[in-house]
Structure 1
Amino acid sequence: MTRRTADRHQHTVTSMTHFSTISLATASMQLPVQDTNVPVSADTSSAGDWRELASLMLHELARAPRATWAFTEQIQPKADEEVPDLPTAEEPVSSETEASNEAEAADDSDAAEVDAMLAHLESELDGVEAPSAPLPDPWQARTITYCLRPAVLLTVIRLARTFVTLDAFAEAVAGPASLAVLCTGAPQLDKVLTKLLGRLITDADGWTKTAADTYLVAASDAVRGSGESTGQVFGALTEGARTAVERGSPVVLVAQSQAMLHPALKALAARIVQLAPLDREMLQVLLSHAYTAVSVDDDVMAHLPQDAVISRLDAESLTLALRAGDPVTALQKIAACIKPVSNDGPGLADFPLPAGVRGPVEQLVADLRAWQAGEIPWRDVSRGLLLVGPPGSGKTEIPRLIAKEAGVAVVAGSVAQWSSEGSRGSEVIKAMRGAFSQAAVKAPAVLFIDELDSFGDRARSPDHNSSYTDYIVTALLDLLDGFHGHEGVVVIGATNHLGKIDAAIRRPGRFDTVVEMGYPNHEQMPRAIKWQLAGDLPDVNLSEVAVAAVGMSGAEVAAMVRAARALARKDRRALTVEDLSAAVAAIRPPLPAEFHWAIAVHEVGHAIVGTATGLSRPESIAILPFGGVCAQIDASIIGRRSEIESLLAIDLAGRAAERLVLGQVCRGAGGPSTSDLARATQTAAALELSWGLGDSPAWLAPPEVAIAHMRRDAALRIRVGEHLQRAEAQATRILAANRPLLEEMAAALVERKLIAGAALDELTARVTMVVNSSEGSESPVVEQISMAQANSSKMLDYGPQVDSFRDKSGPQEHEGPA
């Protein structure tokens, strides 16, 4: 049985693994900088070199080496002694061992007697002769080394550089009625700084001459966690924070940034102190502490980039770098950690984007580059983008490409992701704040918030989730407003439904630019396929495959290319364009040829009515393997009832064309929520309930939920049905006036499968425009003029739809029967 008779460890303290050791005796300690027993004088506190303040702080920390938040403990053999082996039962204890323990036995005679008695009892029980002296303790020849954690050293260096002198530090953190918020700029350092200040302010033996009643706490712990508030400021504070403020005690709060502060803390009008960012000089001082045996001169520091890049070094990367055995290797690792994001591979220029989307995206990239180069101030950088479009339109790819082109980091999050960390509102907000904090740490960075519509709209009809929505949306607004003043962080949002986003979220100043995205059209599709091919088939003509793929989302194009690669791998050969065609056909089996005439009639109907009403301009019409599509760009409208009714006519023009030419309609206009009938029904319901253009001017529901009222309101169903019937009748009149052109264009579409550009413009220029001369009449008088006459007297503004009459995502696409 083995026992330890005493615990007589040799202790040392180091600032890092490579620091020179600091021997600890019973009550004294030697430091490389200054003897512990020498008191800090007033003259020392007034010194103007921040390095001296850093040394004082490190000196004070060394007085408490067992603080595990600041030090790690390592146990290792003494360098000049060998650890003795324990003797076995067959090996008697040597006289040398006995002699080496003689002094200890004299000091601990009582312990030795107890050991001898226990040994005698054991020998009697086990039949083994007891050794003549206590066994040697191998721990007596071990050294305990306390190593200062890199995050603590980094915090000390930045804190000292911020205040420079001890007097300035003491005045800020413990002056009469002082109220300060110290911002780390890095969430990993918040707890470290709080504990460091606790040691320097409250635990130190008066060296800072600070008040004993200083209230020190993390900013997040100074406010109530439930989010409940009984007053503008004090009602949101915890009892301890409120008491400290009311009695005039010095208050020190630690936060990641001013932007992350609770509104109640901002209202306290505290002094905001941002810790000095790490630069070349500070890092050189830090390394000189870490590698005392090697001189860290300017030549060694030449491995580093400029100060703006050095400031991005975080505590975790520093810890990993300082594991190196010498400063040169450590600096090489640091440089690798903070180097700008690589721009290798396909970039923004290769990504398929329409001109209306590419413009604001490239402007943001240019602004970020100019700001990093010091050419423009942060206030001139474009504010956030709000990307709107259906699933698979590339919304999540845009932030990554912007970050790559600008050489910045990207942080992504969503309500779904943040809710996975806890369903309570306070837990969601905590996770959301964490994402904003991470973006601030990585600045310059892009913070991407996906599915913004998931936050909800505070203006929607009250329900059991209304209070939760108010809570979450308000927290997001606070963060967005705070981060507009945080240099280096651009916020980009994305949504499938613009109309479902709270109006306060999407206002200018939070998201300056709304970018509407759609699926690649016939012009963008070849580039979309090339993007997914990633360099394969560089010289192959993809036009035929592109026509067949029109209508696919970006995600579907990616799946198609993966399927084509799988076909090539199966046959153990290189990828070919035939593989792409086969993959498209597998995903979207071609419709029988006899369907093509009905599809063509349907799509041409949309194009003619859109042109005749003057409210949309067709970009392309196509027969695809799965059906047909008519891509149109809507004109900006004021929103009169006549304009809304014309939009309904455009939606129902495909059905009207089928009835006129084929004698009956098919199901192609209906089906999913994106179909012609669904869109027209929602618009008609909104006309009655949301826009005050129906039988009553009363507002009853927002547009996106107006259609839900039809399920329980029979009278509303009748009125909506009447709107749809009148709209289809209007479309029929227009098509009847243009029937020869309708059939000519349909025949051309069956033959070509795609009509776009100048060829389509030439055909639509022959459309006869039908004008209702008596607006609002049940039986309007119809006038017919040519499009040439219309264009000579009226210039239409064709551009992205900016009104709220429809939830759009780029050019409108009317899909034909499948």
Structure 2
Amino acid sequence: MPFKQSGKRLRVPWRLKLDENALPVTLPVFMAYCTVAGALRSWNRIGTKAIVTLVTTDDFYYPLFAEAARFFASQIWDGQRFHGNVLQWTDKNFRHEAEALRDERAILFASPSYQIQEDDRLLSDAIVPLGPRLIRHAEAALRRAGLPINDETVELLLTEPWSRLSRAFQDRRHPLQAIQRLRSLPKVIPPGEPQAEGPPLAAGPTLAEMHGYGGLIEWGYDLAKDISDFKAGIIPWSNVDNGVLISGPPGVGKTMFATALANTCAVPLIYGSASRWQEAGALDEHLKAMRASFAEAKERAPSILFIDEIDVFGARSERDRNSAYMRSVITALLQLLDGFERREGVVVVGACNYPDLLDSAVKRSGRLDRHITVPLPDATSRRFILRLHSGLTLCSADFELFDMATEGLTGADIERLVRDARRAARRQSEMLSVDHIIRHLRPLIKLPEAYVHSLAVHEAGHALVSHEVGYAKVSDIRISRWRVEGEYRALGCVEYDVDVDRPRSKSFFENAIAVCLGGIAAEIEVLGSFSQGAAGDDAADLNRATELATAMEGAFGMGHTLAVEKFSPDALAKMRSSSPELRREIHNVLAKELERAKSIIRMQRAAHEALVTRLVDVDQISGAEAVEIIRNHRRPTVSLAKTERRVAM
């Protein structure tokens, strides 16, 4: 029967399974295709008829983007009716305009230096800014090319000029050869990029320079696109997200994100905070200051109003001597957020450290109904933050030192690190360099080889037990050769992809406990005993296994009794301390699963030793490589997984 297109908007290309045989495109062309499809998100429908102008940035290479735009048309639009109307405005002539009008489809690129005329606006259905390439674009391109994804390669694809990428990646050349060629040549500093000693741009960063914000960056780009569509008259303001609440530890860069968001959206940023408004004086003056900020934002609309420390307002349910004062302030804030006079054109970004303290009415629909948490930056994000504040790019040899020494630091901490390094460079009459940064990191101690080997034994035990019991797919195994002086932290880890839709039965929890104890079991079998790092911390193996066994026995009714207590971490600790019988049952569960994990290590000793040898050599192996090693060295045996018990219906 014939296929009928539903007309639904297609997913963004980095989440879409494309026809691999449709068009042979190089890796950078696919990355450019992702940026084009992201900019043309409103037209990501099969059969769309539109003439759209994409306004480019300085980092633009027309031959590559022209190929990417044609690939977009063949994949997203109707390729049979698209005759290649991809042009630069400077090259457009009457014949090209006639062809675009005939086909009712065209993608036109306008360089930053080109002044868009009134006739150009009349011809175009929309004029849209072309966004920057993102981490997810590079990762999607690497996956499509069948290449491993690592931080160094992703950073290379994000920082090299498009023209160099286009020349390096060619159809006749394997992508790995192209990457090696780029790495072997001196890195080009694009015009306008901050030098090592240059101060940051006065206008502040954009979202393209912000890293470590999770889903907040994607939301910011969506907002920028929606505001652009609103300015162009494509959508009404009611279709634009008009508020978000962002929370996170102090120093993660919530204020800097608001600046970058305003710069990306090309709208003014109005700053307000609960403490600044309160400084105005008595209640009347406090409310006047708050209303003045909202009035300024409305006058300069479209705009972004950033409210810092919004959790200071608290909740109206609080009862103390200041409760009447604060209730009046919160009520006024609610009216300004969503009162009789709608705040059309104003996006409110509220930032706080403790979102649970905020009145629930502030977070209801129509106000700050979207809540996004900003985590501490990961290793890749910390490198980008360093580059943002210093203009320096680390080489691969410095990655581990920097990543270890800065783990747990916020963006503000890294900014202070750069400030200290810059001061030291000035005192020595030198240009700021990576050496100055490395010298100002927290002191690191290199671990002895025997210690590194024990770490590998432990982490390989987790991975092997998880594979054998079928608990979860291992995605990554890592160990470190360094530790921060005077600081206790995990020096190795195994990351798992646990199926969220899997039933949490008794066998699931028993397998999870066995995996938690897999590292201890490996140390006992290989080294004779396990180290103290397996217990004592909430995230330690024995602690997590104990919590799982307690929940299974005392909260989920999967143990010796169906009588249960409410599940909470505090309640679990009280149950263990108040019930010797429960504590014995928990011990029996842990001992049984430890013995099962030790049995796996004994039976699959060859596979475990192969994992340890490889991990000691390279410090990090992927889940796919770990599975391959296990399969190549595994002894056939009966499955030790706890299987689901099936009940006849």
Normalised by the length of structure 1, the TM-score is 0.41
CA contact 1:457–1:503 (8 Å) conserved in 2: no
1:597-608 equivalence runs, <5 A: 597-608=453-464
SS in 2 for 1:771: coil
Give 5+ residue unaligned stretches, structure 1: 1-341, 459-463, 777-818
Deviation per CA, 1:454-503, whole angstroms, max 9, x where unpaired? 96999xxxxx989999x9999979956972563313344566899x9999
Q: Structure 2: any 5+ residue segments left out of the alignment?
A: 1-200, 484-489
Aligned to 2:527: 662
Look up the match of 1:305.
none
Q: What corresponds to 1:706 in structure 2?
A: 571
* Aligned: 1:573 with 2:426: no
Q: Following TM superposition, by how much is the alpha carbon of 1:560 offset from its aligned partner in structure 2, in angstroms?
A: 4.2
- Please tell me whether the aligned partners of residues 273 and 310 of structure 2 are also in contact (alpha carbons under 8 angstroms): no
Structure 1 CA distance for aligned equivalents of residues 543 and 314 of structure 2:
25
* 1:582 aligned partner, one-letter code: R
Pairing partner for 2:504 from 622, 640, 652:
640
Separation in 2, partners of 1:393, 1:735: 42
TM superposition shift of 1:773: 1.8
- Give the secondary-structure state (helix, strand or coil) at the position aligned to 1:376: coil
- Give, in angstroms, the shift of residue 623 of structure 1: 0.8
Change (3 A) 1:570 1:647: farther
Query: 1:625: how far off?
Result: 1.8
- 1:489 paired with 2:347, answer yes
Deviation string, structure 1 residues 296-331 (Cα, Å, up to 9, x no partner): xxxxxxxxxxxxxxxxxxxxxxxxxxxxxxxxxxxx
SS of aligned partner of 1:489: strand
Whole-Å separation in 1 of the counterparts to 2:501 and 2:238: 33
Residues 1:527 and 2:384 aligned together: yes
Q: 1:748 to 1:409 in 2, by over 3 A?
A: same
Establish whether residue 553 from structure 1 lines up as the match of residue 409 from structure 2: yes
1:366 Cα deviation after fit:
2.8
Kindly provide the CA deviation profile for residues 107-135 of structure 1, in whole angstroms up to 9, marking residues without a partner as x: xxxxxxxxxxxxxxxxxxxxxxxxxxxxx
CA deviation after TM superposition for structure 1 residue 772, in Å? 1.0
Match of 2:297 among 420, 442, 463: 442
2:613 to 724, 729, 747: 747
What is the 5 A alignment of 1:411-426? 411=271
* Pick aligned residue for 1:629 from 460, 469, 492: 492
Q: Would you say the 8 A contact 1:396–1:450 is kept in 2?
A: no
- The residue number in structure 1 matching 2:261 is 402
Q: Distance in 1 between matches of 2:547 and 2:336?
A: 37
**TM-score normalised by length of structure 2:** 0.50
Aligned to 1:364: 223
- The residue matched to 2:480 in structure 1 has which SS? strand
Letter in 1 for 2:609: E
Deviation at 1:436, TM superposition (A): 8.2
Distance in 1 (alpha carbons) for counterparts of 2:424 and 2:519 = 38
Contact 2:552 2:559 in 1 (8 A): yes
Partners in 1 of 2:563 and 2:335 — Cα distance?
A: 34
Aligned residues of 1:741 and 1:767 also touching (Cα < 8 A): yes
Mapped contact 1:604–1:745 kept (Cα < 8 A): yes
What residue is the counterpart of 1:590 in the other structure? 446
SS at match of 1:632: strand
Change (3 A) 1:609 1:557: farther
- Hey, what's the Cα distance between the residues in 1 that align with 2:554 and 2:479? 35
In the TM superposition, residue 522 of structure 1 has moved relative to its aligned partner by 5.0
Change (3 A) 1:440 1:374: farther
In the alignment of these two chains, the number of paired residues is: 421
The answer to whether the 8 Å contact 2:305/2:349 transfers is yes
- Distance apart, 1:381 and its partner CA: 1.9
Work out the CA distance in 2 between the residues paired with 1:467 and 1:682: 41
Cα deviation digits, residues 144-201 of structure 1 (max 9, x gap): xxxxxxxxxxxxxxxxxxxxxxxxxxxxxxxxxxxxxxxxxxxxxxxxxxxxxxxxxx
Distance of 1:540 and 1:624 partners within structure 2 = 15
8 Å contact kept, 2:476–2:496: yes
CA contact (8 A) 2:425 2:431 kept: yes
In structure 2, relative to structure 1, the CA distance for the partners of 1:468 and 1:345 (3 Å cut) is closer
Deviations 1:710-729 (A, max 9, x none): 47533565555555555545
SS at match of 1:382: coil
Corresponding position of 2:641: 771
Offset at residue 581 of structure 1 (A): 3.0
Q: Distance in 1 between matches of 2:568 and 2:272?
A: 30
Aligned pairs (5 A) from 1:17-32: none
The alpha carbon displacement at 1:680 in A equals 4.7
What is the percentage of aligned positions where both structures have the same residue? 25
Give matches, 1:164-179, under 5 Å. none
> Over residues 739-775 of structure 1, what are the superposed CA-to-partner deviations in whole Å (9 max), with x where a residue is unaligned?
4333322332222233348656755776978521255
5 Å-filtered alignment, 1:161-200, equals none
430 and 606 in structure 1: CA distance in 2 versus 1, 3 angstrom threshold: farther
- Equivalent residue runs for 1:468-487 within 5 Å: 483=337, 486-487=343-344
Distance 1:681 1:598, change over 3 A: same
Would you say the 8 A contact 1:384–1:511 is kept in 2? yes
CA separation in 1, counterparts of 2:502 and 2:312? 25
Cα distance in structure 1, aligned partners of 2:254 and 2:481: 25
Partner of 2:115: none
Structure 1 pair 772–687 and aligned structure 2 pair: CA distance change class (3 A): closer
How large is the Cα RMSD of the aligned pairs? 5.3
In the other structure, the counterpart of 1:213 is none
Q: Tell me if the contact between 1:453 and 1:497 (Cα under 8 Å) persists in the aligned partners.
A: no
Q: Do the aligned partners of 1:547 and 1:624 also contact (CA within 8 Å) in 2? A: no
Please state whether the residue corresponding to 2:218 is helix, strand or coil.
helix
Larger Rg over CA atoms: 1
Alignment of 1:673-692 (within 5 A): 673-682=538-547
SS in 2 for 1:755: strand
- Spell out, residue by residue over 1:492-515, the C-alpha distance to the aligned partner (whole angstroms, 9 max, x if none): 4566899x9999887776666565
Q: 1:638 to 1:774 in 2, by over 3 A?
A: closer
Alignment of 1:698-737 (within 5 A): 700-701=565-566, 703=568, 705-707=570-572, 709-710=574-575, 713-715=578-580, 717=583, 721=587, 724-725=590-591, 728-729=594-595, 731-736=597-602
Query: Partner of 1:747: helix, strand, or coil?
Result: helix
Distance 1:386 1:588, change over 3 A: farther
1:566 positional shift: 4.8
- The residue type equivalent to 1:350 in the other structure is E
Question: How far does the alpha carbon of each residue in 1:222-279 deviate from its partner, in whole angstroms, 9 at most, with x for none?
Answer: xxxxxxxxxxxxxxxxxxxxxxxxxxxxxxxxxxxxxxxxxxxxxxxxxxxxxxxxxx
Q: How does 1:250-399 map to 2 (within 5 A)?
A: 344-353=203-212, 358-371=217-230, 374-382=233-241, 384-385=243-244, 394=253, 397-399=256-258
Instruction: Say if 1:364 and 1:583 are closer, same or farther in 2 by CA, change over 3 A.
Output: same
> Letter of the aligned partner of 1:771 in structure 2?
A
- Aligned CA distance change for structure 1 residues 475 and 547 (closer, same or farther; 3 Å): same
Q: Residue type of the partner of 2:348?
A: V
CA drift at 1:397: 4.4
Distance 1:345 1:722 in 2: 59
